[in-house]
Structure 1
Amino acid sequence: MSVVTVRNLPEETHRALKARAAQNHRSTEAEIRFILENAVRPKHRVLLGTLLTEIGSEVEGVDIEIERDQTTSEPMDFE
């Protein structure tokens, strides 16, 4: 687990966090984790694979024939 230190947090903000944590029956630290988790990883985020599956279902599937490039590449020479 990572550790994050927040410097120069206004006292008013800290008090508000403590009050919010108390209302939600969590410690201040747990409340901050909850807020950060929901801010950066929302429950209703769009997942690319799911979105592509839905698009394919809407158009009743798409058949695309793609021929993969079989050309080999040479490794980089840094000398």
Structure 2
Amino acid sequence: MTVRNLPDDLHRRIRLYAAEHGLSAEAAVRRLLDEATRPAERLGDVVVAYARARAVDFPETPRDRTPVSPAEFS
């Protein structure tokens, strides 16, 4: 992939970011693109990762599969 017409200011910021992180400009762009396009973490994923990192044991809880009636507003 080639990106043309990159504004000078953006190119300078990429080179500065790369230098600060010990990366080549190309590696910095890959990292920045990856971070910018990564899906946002969902709260449930964050909680599970936190609990797993601390070896928390969650009990198995059966799911209630009883059908639900829609609410009526009168």
If asked which structure has higher relative contact order (CA below 8 Å, sep 6+), I would say 2
* Superposition CA RMSD, Å: 2.7
2:65 to 48, 60, 63: 63
Q: 1:6 to 1:64 in 2, by over 3 A?
A: farther
In structure 1, C-alpha distance between the alignment counterparts of 2:5 and 2:23, rounded to whole Å = 23
| Alignment of structure 1 residues 30-45 onto 2, 5 Å | 30-42=27-39, 44-45=40-41
In structure 2, C-alpha distance between the alignment counterparts of 1:6 and 1:64, rounded to whole Å = 55
The letter for the 1-side match of 2:18 is A
Q: TM-score, normalised by structure 2?
A: 0.55
Kindly report structure 1 stretches of 4+ aligned residues shifted beyond 4 Å.
none
What residue number does 1:72 align with? none
